[in-house]
A and B are shown apart, each in its own frame.
Chain A
Amino acid sequence: MRMDKLVLVLATLALAAGLYVSNIQIGVTLGQELGLTAKYVDGPLPITSPDAPIWGDIEAKEVELGPQLTAAPWIHPEPSVRSLRVKVIHNGTWVSFLLEWNDATKDDKMLTDTFRDSAAVMLALQPGAGQCMGTPTAEVVIAHWKADWQRDVNEAFTDISELYPNFWSDWYPFAVGSPPYTLPDLMNLSAAKEYFAGWYAGNPLSTPLKLTPVETLVAHGWGTLTTYAYQSFIGRGIHDGAKWSVVISRPISTGQADPPWGDGGPVEVAFAVWDGSNGEIGAKKGVSLPMPLSLEKPTKPTAVTATVTVTETGVEAAPPVQNQALIIIAIVAAVMAFLIIGIILPGRKKKRGSAE
């Protein structure tokens, strides 16, 4: 083998090895640093109370959010909410997430050109599903809290007269009596449903009667998000003028689309936030990396709370110092490979060319 080819092969091998090691180690490191543990609480959980005193005892985990760049509509580089404070607790029967993020504008009305604030918790039902809304062979279950649903729950279904205070309509074909027509009266008419196509078709977004602001969905890849037949999440969100505090809760075991908690996990969890004022909806959102979530064992009530964790059944990872050392080695190897390919080899060729 000629010398330059040998160098090229070696450089390629070094690059591949470097990237392989760095990928593995970066993944593990991130997993560790972003890992969550649900603190065990002995007693009932504040499953719909984001302002319950107990949350003050739980340490929050700052979760970074970044743009979603994997699936169309794929380019939205600037989600306005870049971090989320997460607290998780459980009592052996229920698990509750408290999500808090800064957002000065409360977007809970849907006009033609306005979008809702919302947040989601995604739990993998099989290992590896936490990346990208699941895969064809690994599903996720998603809890999606929506600010407009919260408004519906708090103040009854948002009517046109609330969206447009000067609104007036003389007549509806399904209405009786005379204007102004009020929504509850209209909705109660048997013929009304035929004039609300989404509701008639059974779309949960269109249903005027909302029991909870949280929708339970399942997905097995991009574009497959579907409302789940068994609605298991509940919750509540409040806005204090500067931030949203949203609690999302669910029984640990429902018999339907349960994450594989096993002996306390871990299961993969990821978070997303949409800022309506920034036009965020659907794939346009701030998302977190998937991370392991474990349930703290009831026998260890004083264990670490929702912070960095390496669980008993979790990923076997090297200590952080060693991880960092390996990453540095990998990066140095990659840089050397590029130097060899980009500078040394062309230089050799040039010299040889000039000699000829």
Chain B
Amino acid sequence: MVSFAGWELPVMYSSILAEHETVRTSVGVFDISHMGQIFVSGEKSQKWLDALLTNDVSNLEIADAQYTFLLNESGGVIDDLILYRLDETSFFLVVNAAKINEVTEWFDRHLLEGITYENESSEWAGLAVQGPRAPEIYTRITGGRCLPAKYGVDDVTHEGARMIVCRTGYTGEDGFELFCSARAASGWFQVLMDEHVVPCGLGARDTLRLEMCYPLNGNDLTEERTPLEAGLGRFVAFDKEVEFLGREVLLRQKEEGVEYRLMAIQLSERGAPPRAGYPVLGDEDQVIGHLTSGALSPSLGVGIALAYLPRDVVKIGSSVKIEVRGQGLPAKVVKKPFYQH
């Protein structure tokens, strides 16, 4: 178990490698009840969200989802989150556990008349069922329901209780995230156990997301780095009708190019797993950056990592070294993601 944002979370139930493999080939479940759930509504809620978030909310259809960023004035990432449109004027946001307070403080500071938001994080629980067998499991546990389309969301009443089912995840596999009342969660978890869905911990969640180069807030995303530096400019809509907070800084970066970019690094040989904080060395063994994430990739069998590195020194294909206990291990900057289906 590990303490995380005030929660006690399991790192693993049996084995990180086994749990990882299960999600890639079959189906596993992660308890994601620590994540925050916020509901936004109001006649002008779409415009209000468009002014706070980077993606184009006006383009978001009802029952669809969008990965997006909440930025500070200097373009740094306060949170990366998923925004779901429930109907024309109401939205559901799933935010990072450690960022719930920052997000609601930001909302309070920018609140407009006619906009209401409810932070219902403590009333909701979440289970992420991930893996190629997830759709079939969903149909079985709901007595014949079908999952929404990819990135879709269903806000439904099932057996008298509200649940929000999203075809999203953080593993790179097909699957869904089921949000229900905290009271109903243990029942759902038991139903999944009865279907032999394998319980998975934070450890496998981390190796799965890192193989896909999905960023981890607090590690790969911080208030000092912008989405463009993180290589996630495709979730930033510069041309949308409403200008979002932080746009000016991002636009300048877009025109001038960023100095540092979050790059994917793969070790050349099997060896010590890279870990967050380890130095990255350039040609002359000079330190050019530090890992923000690192792990042994269970799928590839070698170490993989992310680091903000200077673009004038390295690009895809460049040789670098990762320093582990004083020794420089040979590695290469590679194309994202590490893992291809």
Note whether A and B form a binding pair: no
Residues of A within 8 A of B (CB): none
